[in-house]
Structure 1
């Protein structure tokens, strides 16, 4: 039909041509795509050609190998089977280290061919979200960055319109140079410290939880995009939400104020006039603007007063409501460009708590007791994905945490990480890229240069300031981003610190509290007048309740060995030797940074082999992290305003400080922490047997039934201690009754179980807790003599990617203690990862029944899946899953 009109009606032809042009103008706002496949690379030593030649589409790529972009050189070499898996065993020792080989070993050319053309009114942009460390960029025989780009934490954008080939066949060539100062990986924290002389992450030279990354993560490590716009490019949108007063989740809300601004760039030789606008809840907010030729301006739109807003709350306090808007630049009905922004409406405030001597956080006017985890990076070799980010943040949500701190020796986390935190309600404490170890806080004989010199790292301060400004713009719209921090255990150099506090953050954000460094006095002060962090080793669980540490502790941690299935993934069979207290540690365990359990394993009986060790380690893991969470919560607002665990995840196969392993398989740390961090939780102080309830919510809970029982370990017979109704006010921990006299009257010699339950007036179970207490000698002799369990288990598919598991224990059976559930492949027996269990490492009392929901990736749906379960007194079983 169109063809017929075009042929016979010249005026109609012109009209349709104009309409098609208009359609194209309104469409190119959607034309942003990633260059994430089809890349090739070669080591700089294997070619003599320069960028002008290599970037010609006709230049032959014979001998070039497939490249992983986004990714690092090491990832590309691994994917091409040029190196062994550095996370397995001691394979990392087989890979040449850049410090010894020189930088050319990991200097590479990367090439990508792509099709693209532009119409006369269009602009094309090349965007690189992260290159480590330096780069020169060529397109179709021309260099497009005027000077060599430097800095891992600095985005790049280039207008490539004049460089595109008219026939649409284009070649992009990027040479990537490693950090100028890769540093000696001499075993120190950050090696010899010189890695910090550049604007890059520090852990790659090695730390006490990781071995060195041999290429120091050189490469085009983050995403590369092509974007097409009209004459105006909308960039760096900024959304600020103002929520006054004290709000309550789920209630009708007073209005909130929304403030929106953006930068508009006009690269054309003429001025462009139009309207910048967005729509929200049926309202259109707009402003007529004119952008001069070859300029960029920040435009602020009129404020929007939004009635009855849906608020965003941290995990455990309310829903995570999110809004989407499209910020557009229009000429008439034609859109030059648009940016889609997802944001949450909330306000975060902070005030000093004189009782605790520490900063206290408020969201939407309500006090938030910080229960946080320390995060290094999702993958030590920067192999990021939305799916992995989502899984890891979900694990933190499942642990009933409400904050993740991004440690300063790594990086500014990616937008995909923040999207997951927005979704799951995790506040984020974002450090900038400094550490006390590399940047000179302490005298350190492992470091090459003295403290005075290291205190001035990095060498290029203006570069750091530009990068901080850029990264703030990148992530500032996320509601989860709660706090900025100058660095890990040290401030940046004084001029950088002043730039951040006095100009950058006030101008680019202005809504979030800035801590000078992660354990600064502005964060908390202990009784002797200073702040700090730690300890980091395993502790007697009583100490979490009785020993007062720093009031807002940014790092406190313990052990975290995974279970046997986890160990087998990266420890060779010949090295599967369980560590014994005061005994020699196997070399592979040492290489993977094993931290000792002391005498805590022996209390359950000496480990007979690695599998037995791993099982007993899970009992210790669970007890440690449950006690940590409960001990801090028991002193909420009296001793503490928050705590951050060091650490809750590992970006490689380490044997310490993790709630789940590198392969996303959880261990008992996760479920002990999940139990101890429940928003409304019943618990017992192990030091004095005082039963308590902690309520993190904002309302009084009345008519709560508290039930306390003691079970004989060997027979499963129970003794009722009390049933009592009680209440608890908002945001508090409250003592109710001690059980010490009752427990002593049992004359326990080999240990007992203590069961605590909290129920509503409708008998609905709200919280339950089972403690296993040792005998008078501090050992768990009764557990070692438990009779075999008689657990009955069934599993049914109840949705796509979901299994419901029912566990029941006969009334005449003993306690079915500490059972591990795992979804596995029927053929290989390997676990399906990641999988998310509503509870795990759980115990079933005699005569009781429990239902667990397990979610797993839908990519496995339809495949043959089985359920594996085993426990302390339960033999390993594998059963089918009903349809």
Structure 2
């Protein structure tokens, strides 16, 4: 077995930035296989006519190309997905396509030219200039391919590449089950494409040249798969001089020529050069290991909220006779990640650089269901996770090992990554399921080609192992891989290729989180009363716990037709388009604010529920930090499609109140109110003690009248939770027939607010009658351009006014009125107390100059203010 999957990888491996490498990402054309009579040898002849062929999107899927050529409607809008033919009904030929690309390249002297595919789904035969490139078809979505095409290049430098791409052999019946009938998992491909409870089926099952195609030029040596391990012994602090770190380095070096090549292999880090004299035999690939290097006073990498995300550029070179034969570059974060079992919680504890980290995470599916990945989108999505004050993203097993650009963003923003491999309890047989075609025993053996899976695992580990953000490996979502995959992965591949990260057999295994309560080990998934997050004990490291996520009205208008914008009502079935987009009911949680009168009214009230849900979720888990829990991971924080559940921002990168409620509840230093006993407490996630803190509590009625309770000085130690005083008697004495606002502030000696939190309390009946009748108020709003990518928005509420409650701020184009997306707000859905002001900073990555700010709130009429 081991020999078989090793042979598949002999020609693979490269991902660090090469010295001379470029993408083939323009000028492709394609045609359906049924329309093409010629074979690959003829098609790849530069003289063969391609008149009438369709422009192709590469990298991209067949469905993306069809959409870009207006051959199909946008499957993300309304019920359009139902208008697109599903491969299960049409047969595979319907989505089998030839892709052709002309390019200029030739080799001079000892130059070697490499053709590299970072992802093809599912099988492919490749031709260049009338010759077949791959002797056996490429197979497997999660496997890279590299070919030395030096001898196949045209002497004139004008070349033609032709690739026929076949869909997965078994595409699965999209019968409404999780992963359809489950048979999509028979191949090494994305399981979600047959449908899930958060997405409709992807009609082409992601068929296509879906990831980058590159040409790399080297001399007679090809450097591949550098491997950097950093050891940071002891317990460290983010600031001050550091004790040394140890750097372990190895790299694969290929010599494709008929003669041995001698020279100096070296890498550079922090201004130091470490080198080694080597000879690489003809037609061979050797792994070269360097002696350990001691890095003095290292600048360490920390997760978000704990310290800086320092990265060192590393350059690898092979020199011979004063000539650089090949060169690669990568960025390395110096850190050490350990796991120590917490016997009290009975769950794993994450440690970075010797410091324990309370995990606050989000589950990630995939950036885009049609695999339209960009660096900018990855950067924005990961930044949103940082803005939520999260420190971890878990990559769910029914999709991908994400692309290196995703991990680059996680390295940049300090998000640890919990990486699943490609298995799910639904498709791979954990449960009895009448919607599945085959029984559990059969599904347990999926995928069919186990050596291919092991080859892809080896390649995937090499692809992403150097990223500082990559923290944990996981065998699969809610189920382990088959035993003949699990054991080689666990006992050979990971120790040999990585050896530094914890591996968990599956995502809710007892070795990660001992399930003493019974059940499946995760959830709940539906909407909860905020009290439940504080009082109901779940699993000590909960890998999936989550709730609702409908966006605001502007978001809904982007993908729900006007005639379907009908407010869902409690206990009634929602509109068909809402149902199609996987709406999860808000049950009776909207009604206490007044029954929704319209979709716009529903969306506004949903944001109140969203905010309260996710603030309470993270506050509840944090309140039991190190007692009940070592961490929790929200299911889920984003959607790759226009779904109506489990998202902090929509597909178009427009955030909703989930994001800001979660941001508030996840603050590194946070003051909060326990809804069970009205106890005020503070959580400190940091490594330092905070002394001389002022803890302040007030209440306001619906007219804005202030009721002072207390402010006291105290302190809180590192990585801890401390209770201070209860408000139950104070709140009982207040007239709560209409509800009140509770304002909590945590201030330093300079009277600067370190944490602020405003709760809106229901009346005796659990309704919000006061909010329903609260008077309108008009805050003063200014918007100033701070620099070319930043706007400061200030809201001021005069004394004598009621609370200006729950204001949404949106940066817009002042002429079109459309929102600028993405945009990053340091807070939103903010409430302004009487006599106070708040300044919100908005950052946006574009060069837009025609800006205005739109503000509206619960009792604040919509106002548009020009940015000055």
TM over 0.5: yes
Worse-superposed segment, 528-537 or 411-420? 528-537
2:449 aligns to what? 460
For the pair 1:99 / 2:94, whether they are aligned, the reply is: no
Aligned length: 852
Which runs of structure 2 are paired with 1:413-492 in the superposition (5 Å)?
Answer: 413-492=402-481
Which runs of structure 2 are paired with 1:156-167 in the superposition (5 Å)?
Answer: 156-167=145-156
For the pair 1:695 / 2:684, whether they are aligned, the reply is: yes
What are the Cα deviations for residues 395-443 of structure 1, in whole angstroms up to 9, with x where unaligned?
0000000000000000001000000000000000000000000000000
Change in Cα spacing, 1:29 to 1:311, as seen in structure 2 (3 Å) is: closer
Which runs of structure 2 are paired with 1:224-239 in the superposition (5 Å)?
Answer: 224-239=213-228
Quote how far apart the aligned CAs of 1:645 are.
0.2
What secondary structure is seen at the aligned counterpart in 1 of 2:468?
coil
Mapped to 2, the partners of 1:790 and 1:372 lie a distance apart of 37
Mapped to 2, the partners of 1:672 and 1:625 lie a distance apart of 5
1:593 aligns to what? 582
1:255 aligns to what? 244
- Is the CA contact 1:690–1:739 (under 8 Å) kept in the aligned structure 2? yes
Counterpart of 1:185 (choices 158, 162, 174) is 174
What secondary structure is seen at the aligned counterpart in 2 of 1:691?
strand
1:561 aligns to what? 550
- Is the CA contact 1:266–1:293 (under 8 Å) kept in the aligned structure 2? yes
1:87 aligns to what? 76
Mapped to 2, the partners of 1:131 and 1:118 lie a distance apart of 26
What secondary structure is seen at the aligned counterpart in 2 of 1:874?
coil
Which runs of structure 2 are paired with 1:71-220 in the superposition (5 Å)?
Answer: 71-220=60-209
Counterpart of 1:814 (choices 802, 805, 812) is 802
Counterpart of 1:513 (choices 502, 511, 518) is 502
Mapped to 1, the partners of 2:250 and 2:99 lie a distance apart of 36
Quote how far apart the aligned CAs of 1:252 are.
1.0
Which runs of structure 2 are paired with 1:781-800 in the superposition (5 Å)?
Answer: 781-800=769-788
Mapped to 2, the partners of 1:294 and 1:751 lie a distance apart of 78
What are the Cα deviations for residues 20-52 of structure 1, in whole angstroms up to 9, with x where unaligned?
xxxxxxxx9632000111000000000111000
- Is the CA contact 2:140–2:188 (under 8 Å) kept in the aligned structure 1? yes
Quote how far apart the aligned CAs of 1:527 are.
3.3
1:872 aligns to what? 858
1:18 aligns to what? none
What secondary structure is seen at the aligned counterpart in 1 of 2:862?
strand
What are the Cα deviations for residues 338-380 of structure 1, in whole angstroms up to 9, with x where unaligned?
1101010000000110110101100000000000000000000
Mapped to 2, the partners of 1:97 and 1:322 lie a distance apart of 45
2:349 aligns to what? 360
Counterpart of 2:763 (choices 775, 789, 796) is 775
Quote how far apart the aligned CAs of 1:824 are.
1.1
2:6 aligns to what? none
For the pair 1:834 / 2:844, whether they are aligned, the reply is: no
What secondary structure is seen at the aligned counterpart in 2 of 1:875?
coil
Worse-superposed segment, 355-364 or 743-752? 743-752
Mapped to 2, the partners of 1:450 and 1:211 lie a distance apart of 24
For the pair 1:726 / 2:714, whether they are aligned, the reply is: yes
- Is the CA contact 1:373–1:646 (under 8 Å) kept in the aligned structure 2? yes
What secondary structure is seen at the aligned counterpart in 2 of 1:183?
coil
Q: Structure 1: which 5+ runs fail to align?
A: 1-27
Which runs of structure 2 are paired with 1:52-71 in the superposition (5 Å)?
Answer: 52-71=41-60
Mapped to 2, the partners of 1:537 and 1:394 lie a distance apart of 26
For the pair 1:678 / 2:667, whether they are aligned, the reply is: yes
For the pair 1:758 / 2:720, whether they are aligned, the reply is: no
Counterpart of 1:805 (choices 773, 785, 793) is 793
- Is the CA contact 1:525–1:531 (under 8 Å) kept in the aligned structure 2? no
Mapped to 2, the partners of 1:808 and 1:585 lie a distance apart of 39
Mapped to 2, the partners of 1:685 and 1:584 lie a distance apart of 34
What are the Cα deviations for residues 167-203 of structure 1, in whole angstroms up to 9, with x where unaligned?
0000011000000000000000000000000000100
What secondary structure is seen at the aligned counterpart in 1 of 2:479?
coil
Change in Cα spacing, 1:826 to 1:529, as seen in structure 2 (3 Å) is: closer
For the pair 1:704 / 2:690, whether they are aligned, the reply is: no
Change in Cα spacing, 1:148 to 1:373, as seen in structure 2 (3 Å) is: same
Which runs of structure 2 are paired with 1:399-414 in the superposition (5 Å)?
Answer: 399-414=388-403
For the pair 1:350 / 2:339, whether they are aligned, the reply is: yes
Q: Structure 2: which 5+ runs fail to align?
A: 1-16
- Is the CA contact 2:517–2:538 (under 8 Å) kept in the aligned structure 1? no
Mapped to 1, the partners of 2:746 and 2:109 lie a distance apart of 70
What are the Cα deviations for residues 583-605 of structure 1, in whole angstroms up to 9, with x where unaligned?
13100000000000011100000
Quote how far apart the aligned CAs of 1:764 are.
1.2
Mapped to 2, the partners of 1:411 and 1:314 lie a distance apart of 23
- Is the CA contact 1:486–1:516 (under 8 Å) kept in the aligned structure 2? yes
Quote how far apart the aligned CAs of 1:763 are.
0.9
Quote how far apart the aligned CAs of 1:859 are.
3.2
Counterpart of 2:292 (choices 303, 310, 318) is 303
Mapped to 2, the partners of 1:99 and 1:473 lie a distance apart of 34
- Is the CA contact 2:788–2:847 (under 8 Å) kept in the aligned structure 1? no
What are the Cα deviations for residues 266-299 of structure 1, in whole angstroms up to 9, with x where unaligned?
0000000011101222321001110000000000
TM-score, structure 1 length as denominator?
A: 0.96
Quote how far apart the aligned CAs of 1:531 are.
5.7
2:321 aligns to what? 332
Mapped to 1, the partners of 2:405 and 2:37 lie a distance apart of 38
Mapped to 2, the partners of 1:178 and 1:527 lie a distance apart of 43
What are the Cα deviations for residues 832-880 of structure 1, in whole angstroms up to 9, with x where unaligned?
10011111000000010111110112232x3x11111100000001111
